[in-house]
Amino acid sequence: MIAKFFMILLVASAIIISSCGDSKKEENKEKKDTTEQKTEGPEVTINPVIPDGFVDKELKEFGLDAAVKCPAEAYIYTSELQTDEGKQQQIVIQFDSSSDIKFYISKTAVDFAKVKEEIEKNMFLEFKRFLVEDENGVVYEAMNKSDETLVYNFAMILKGKDSNYKVESDTFVNLTPEQISTLYAMAKSITIK
């Protein structure tokens, strides 16, 4: 009799415990679904088209035998970049001399897969999603960790005769989807000779 009582109690306990587990699984699934929805974010259109009035500018005087389509008043110069590989020159292409809207071109030993990995592990930006992904470039959405604003950036690898070049937007400037669309179009217009 006592054995039967304990057997019924054991079966009842097992049923209760197993049903609690299912509710936890459902709760976790709901939390996961909510998280996934948050990472999708608002609909963003990236339209990398060169605006009318942009001109071809040569980059040879800056150390790269190439040309880029940019505004006639674009300010192009070189600056020094400190990397894991040491100091090197980078070319800066800025909309005009008073604008923060710019991108950089620098020699690199990294491949496109490494560039994407660096984007996802940026210490200042919380990666959200890739908006455009093609064979050698990406446009991505991230959150600025300091002020929690959504920002848009791009990065790409261009293959030259003797080396690869990393082309990327300034990640310390909060760019809009429209601005990043134009910068990405400019970057894609670069022709290495």
7-63 pLDDT, tens per residue?
A: 443 334 444 444 444 444 444 444 333 223 234 667 888 989 999 999 999 999 999
The per-residue pLDDT for 43 is 87
Q: Where are the domains of the chain?
A: 1-40, 55-192
Task: Give the amino acid at 105.
Answer: I
Residue 141's closest CA among 33, 39, 48?
A: 39
pTM for the model stands at 0.76
- Output the pLDDT for position 41: 66
- pLDDT at residue 42, rounded to an integer: 74
**Dist CA 178 CA 133 (whole Å):** 17
Cα(45)–Cα(59) distance, integer angstroms: 30
What residues have CB less than 8 Å from 138, skipping those under 6 apart?
A: 115, 116, 119, 130, 131, 132, 154, 155, 156
DSSP 8-state assignment for residue 50 = P
In whole angstroms, give the CA distance from residue 182 to residue 50: 6
Q: How many beta carbons lie within 10 A of that of residue 120, not counting itself?
A: 12
pLDDT score, position 86: 81
* Paired tokens of 179: 């601005």
Q: Are 101 and 51 in contact (CB under 8 A)?
A: no
More confident residue, 110 or 83: 110
pLDDT average, residue stretch 75-94: 90
Q: Does pLDDT of 126 surpass 50?
A: yes
Average pLDDT, the chain: 83
CB 115 within 8 A of CB 145: no
Q: What is the pLDDT of residue 40?
A: 63
Question: For the range 17-23, what are the long-range contacts, defined as Cβ-Cβ under 8 Å and sequence gap of 24 or more?
Answer: none
The topology under which CATH files domain 55-192 is Protein Transport Mog1p; Chain A (3.40.1000)
Q: What is the pLDDT of residue 152?
A: 96
Residue 120 has a pLDDT of 95
Neighbours of 29 (CB within 10 A): 10
